[in-house]
Amino acid sequence: MTTALKDYFIFVGRCARETIHGDWRYFLWMTALTAVALLGLNAYAKQLVIGLSVTGMSDQVSWGLYIANFTFLVGMAAAAVMLVVPVYIYKDETLHDVVILGELLAVAVIIMCLLFVTVDLGRPDRFWHMIPGIGKFNWPMSMLSWDVIVLNIYLALNAHICGYLVYMVYCKRKPAPLWYIPFVFTAIVWAFSIHTVTAFLYVGLGGRPYWNSAIIAPRFLASAFTAGPGFLILTLQVIRSVSKYRIDDKAILMLRSIVQVSMIINVFLLFCELFKEFYTDSAHVASAKYLYFGLHGHYGLVPWIWTAMVLDLVALVLLMLPQSKSLKYLNLACVLAIIGIWIEKGMGLIIPAFVPSPLGEIVEYFPTLNEWLICAGIWAFGMLLYTLFLKMTLPVLTGDLTPTSSPPA
């Protein structure tokens, strides 16, 4: 047992050594990400000293950009499942070689999610109150306690699967099914659970009619399965251009089919929601009205949401057309869809629920520069992590790093 552990740590150590090697592009990329991450850290240090008054949030709009990003990213993390399902359930090997890259993305993104929740806390020093056993965990009543559990377990599941499978490739051993198949199938269910629980966080609040809609969880999943694989389409092309790892166009086109179907469902569900809100035209439409058309002379989110609508629709049309079988158009469609969904599901879902407030007050929310910097910092840190993970695993997957290969200089 101890030798096995020792071998594993030697493996991790050797993978880690890979991260200090690379060409100038790699170091430039890492330096840029580090710089942005540090700007974010600096902004967070200011927030810690002064308080959340450095954000644009108020008693009326008590959640903002942090929770918006958190919501979007939970979806990105859940989307790894869209690569796992074809391979493990339908035994379709097209995506076999990229599954692990999707799971690594999930690990990095879940860490970003946890960071976004942390920066939103007024008392981060009391985070341990949320740790089951030593804190006081309001489970199963609080949906937030559910979210803490499912996110952390999802992180552990994916970290284990990646760590184990890559190690087996490194050792040139066939992975023992018992050590990964149960985890893979649990992770499939878990991916749905993290995004469903995150949706229930909002859905369960009777005092916020804009959120109190059963369609939010399905909408979350549809938009996640668009944005996540969309992001991977772009990432995989970068990976194959900067590394020796071979990724077939076939895999990318299979992801296109996933993005295509998800985007159709996503737009359809959005349409259902909009119909319910605007055709009914009850008092509960106020939030949606504020979002799309402005309310009593306040138009803060109108430019945002219409940008998102245009991006979503152009992406949808592009994805439906055969032209998007060419990577150039596919990439464009993915970029548009990701940005569109980020707006629609982030700012477009979180903020309107607070406007008007339960007492009818209209207080608008505009993120401050400090808030933007913290968000940019977390995004940069997440990309930095993902790059490191790839840097560690790709040499193993390409067969360059083996127990007997000579260490790089």
Partner 1 sequence: MSEEQKSDSPGGDISRRAFLAAAATAAVAATAAALAPLKDIADLPSLEEFLRKHYKELTPADKKAILARIAEQVKSKYGVTPNVTDLPPLDGVEFGYALNIGRCVGCRKCVFACVDENNQSRNPEIQYIRVLEMKKGSIDVESANTTYEGEVPKKDSYYMPVQCHQCRKAPCVKACPVEATWVEPDGVVVIDYNWCIGCRYCMAACPYGARRFNFEEAQLTAEDVNPEMGYLSNRPRPKGVVEKCHFCLHRTRAGKYPACVEVCPTGSRKFGNLLDPKSEISTILQTKRVYVLKEEVGTLPRFYYYFDI
Choose the binding region for partner 1 from 103-111, 121-129, 246-254, 304-312 (rule: CB under 8 A).
121-129
Q: Cβ distance 251 to 257 under 8 Å?
A: no
Asked if 360 touches partner 1 (CB under 8 A), the answer is yes
Q: How far is CA 121 from CA 51, 65, 111, in A?
A: 10, 13, 16
One-letter identity of residue 93: E
Token pair of 46 as six digits: 């200011």
Query: Which listed residue (38, 181, 310, 320) binds partner 1 by CB under 8 A?
Result: 38
Stretch that binds partner 1, among 48-56, 69-77, 220-228, 272-280 (CB under 8 A): 48-56
**What tokens appear for 198 in the block?**
């995150």
Per-position b or e across 20-33, b if 16+ CB within 10 A of its CB: eeeeeeeeebbeeb
Of 51 and 403, the one with the shorter C-beta distance to partner 1 is 51
Tokens 């023992």 found at: 176
- Report the DSSP beta bridge partners of residue 295: 298
Checking 135-143 for CB contacts under 8 A at 24+ apart, the result is 143/197, 143/200, 143/201, 143/204
62 lies in the binding site for partner 1 (CB under 8 A): yes
For partner 1, the closer of residues 55 and 196 by Cβ is 55
Which position among 207, 297, 303, 322 is part of the footprint of partner 1 (CB under 8 A)? 207
Please state the closest distance from residue 339 (CB atom) to partner 1, in A: 26
Q: What are 276's two structure tokens?
A: 């319910």
Residue 144 engages partner 1 in binding (rule: CB under 8 A): yes
Angstrom CA distances, 87 to 78, 155, 185, 193, 199, stand at 16, 20, 11, 20, 27
Residue 181 found at the interface with partner 1 (CB under 8 A): no
120 is a contact residue toward partner 1 (CB under 8 A): yes
Decide whether 44 or 183 has the Cβ nearer to partner 1. Answer: 44
On whether the CB atoms of residues 398 and 15 are closer than 8 A, the answer is no
- 405 near partner 1, rule: CB under 8 A: no
Query: What whole-number distance in Å separates Cα of residue 135 and Cα of residue 142?
Result: 14
State the nearest-atom distance from the C-beta of 357 to partner 1, in Å.
5
Contact window for partner 1 (CB under 8 A) among 88-96, 183-191, 274-282, 355-363: 355-363
Contact call for residue 29 and partner 1 (CB under 8 A): no
Give how far Cα 235 sits from Cα of 54, 161, 314, Å: 34, 20, 21
**Is residue 60 close enough to count as binding partner 1 by CB under 8 A?**
yes
* Residues binding partner 1: number (CB under 8 A): 64
Q: Does 127 bind partner 1 (CB under 8 A)?
A: yes
Which of 15, 33, 52, 383 is the binder for partner 1 (CB under 8 A)?
52
Instruction: Name the site residues for partner 1 (rule: CB under 8 A).
Output: 20-23, 27, 31, 34-35, 38-39, 41-42, 45-46, 48-53, 57-60, 62-63, 117, 120-127, 129-130, 135-138, 141-145, 148, 201, 205-208, 283, 286, 353-354, 356-361, 408-409
